[in-house]
Amino acid sequence: MIQKIRRKFIIISTCALAVVLTTVIGSIIGTSYYRADQEVSTVLTTLANNQGDIPKRPVAVLGQAKHNREGLFQYRYFSVTFNATGDIVDLNDEHISTVKSSEIKTLAQEFRHRQRQGHTFYKGTTYAYKRVTKQGLTTIVFLDETLLMARVNQIVRSATVLGVASLALYALLLALFSKQAIEPVVRAEKRQKEFITNAGHELKTPLAIIAANNEMVEMLNGESEWTQSNHQQINRLTQLINRLVSLARLDERPTMVITDINASQAITTVANNFRTLVEQDGKQFVTNITPDLTIKADEGYFTELANILVDNANKYCDDQGIVKITWTATKQHKNPTLVVANSYAAGKDVDYNKFFERFYRNETSHNQEKKGFGIGLSMAQNLVQTFKGKLTVHYHEGMIYFVARFR
């Protein structure tokens, strides 16, 4: 139980930090891409409005200090200007060395009739382009985005590496110090178990005295409805105390002898023990048990698991209903599954998510006469988890099914 709480604490805390880091890093990356895109757009507009040349006056790029001509020389670009008839009247390739003049002319002709602004990929390089028509002249400017995007990509890589490293370091530190962080929970859990165990032992003595006194009264005055009621309540309290103590010890993960057991034989024994009891109540008892299926478990505790599920099915089965036990596996004898089902007409609107909570009982008219403490199913789930399995419950066509799957 403590290890489960510790793992959950580490996972939840790490996930929370991961969400925060993702949001922060995502914002940084998004802002970087936005600023780079705005810078590209501003430079393109500046060059296009000056017929593909660097303006003589300083200009502001993305709200920064005004750039002079030297500042704009950092960008790699080329431009072509057409007249109204489509003839090239100017070609500027002084700021690019990787694209030939003939290639520039071909690109310009291709993009002269396309959308005014966009991106193109040419010879392994991404170019942003913009077309502006002014005073009868159409200028197309192509700007190499490699330098700008390289800065952004560097920010992305650095932010990602720092984020992953921070998350890994946080998870490591959390794993190292989580034991101290949940120490109050551990102490509270330990005190609770000690209290249950000690109280259970202390209560057994007065119960034994009450039982002896009740028997003495019966010997002197004869049996009456009052002594019978006392006897029933004494048995009920004794069962409750035993269940509570067993549950507390089970949470402490007692030493179990986990070996390969013949689970089919254990389930058959449990089914035979309950058959007479079920049929005496006027219910049908159906079993389908595949022989010689084995799982890794403690034989005694596995038998207790089967007893809990079958007893629960018999207890809450409808009058004249049916109790079914199925124990099967795949053709390769993998994933053996125990299914215990019973008729339960009032189970359509029941919240089955609460069935494995301690002391939970579905308080409907169907259950008012049923004896129990709401502990058995919690113990069953704990046992299945100990055996590396999974216990679920669902309702279908008037039947409630408890399904325990094992590896």
- Percent of the chain at pLDDT > 90 equals 14
**Residue type for 98, please?**
T
Secondary structure element (H or E) that encloses residue 37, with its range: helix 2-49
Question: What pLDDT sits at residue 277?
Answer: 85
323 confidence band (pLDDT: 50, 70, 90): very high
SS3 state at 197: helix
Backbone φ and ψ of 148, nearest 5°: -65, -45
Question: What pLDDT sits at residue 351?
Answer: 76
Across residues 14-27, what is the average pLDDT? 90
Structure tokens at 289: 């048990």
Tokens 């399995």 correspond to 389
Across residues 203-214, what is the average pLDDT? 82
Sign (positive or negative) of CA dihedral 161, 167, 170, 172: negative
More confident of the two residues 15 and 180: 15
Question: What pLDDT sits at residue 72?
Answer: 60
For residue 369, is pLDDT > 90?
no
| Cα–Cα distance for residue pair 36/127, rounded to 1 Å | 13
More confident of the two residues 371 and 174: 174
Structure tokens at 187: 């102490």
Each residue's pLDDT tens digit, 127-151: 888 888 888 888 888 988 887 788 8
Q: Give the least confident one: 59-63, 141-145, 244-248.
A: 59-63
Query: Which domains are delineated in the chain?
Result: 195-251 (1.10.287.130), 259-405 (3.30.565.10)
The strand pair at 337-343 and 117-122 is best described as unpaired
Tokens 């009032």 correspond to 346
Question: What pLDDT sits at residue 368?
Answer: 42
The set of residues, in sequence order, having a beta carbon less than 8 Å from that of 311 and lying 6+ positions away, is: 274, 376
- In angstroms, what CA-CA distances link 123 with 93, 128, 168? 16, 14, 40
| Cα–Cα distance for residue pair 290/288, rounded to 1 Å | 7
Across residues 199-206, what is the average pLDDT? 74
Across residues 212-222, what is the average pLDDT? 86
Question: pTM (2 decimals)?
Answer: 0.50
SS3 state at 78: strand
Each residue's pLDDT tens digit, 65-102: 444 555 566 788 888 888 888 888 888 888 888 888 88
Question: What pLDDT sits at residue 354?
Answer: 74
CA 265 to chain centre: 37
The 10 Å Cβ neighbour count of residue 336 is 20
More confident of the two residues 391 and 6: 391
Q: Report the chain's mean pLDDT, rounded to a whole number.
A: 81
Sheet holding 284-289, edge to edge: 284-289, 322-328, 337-343, 399-405, 390-396
The 10 Å Cβ neighbour count of residue 11 is 12
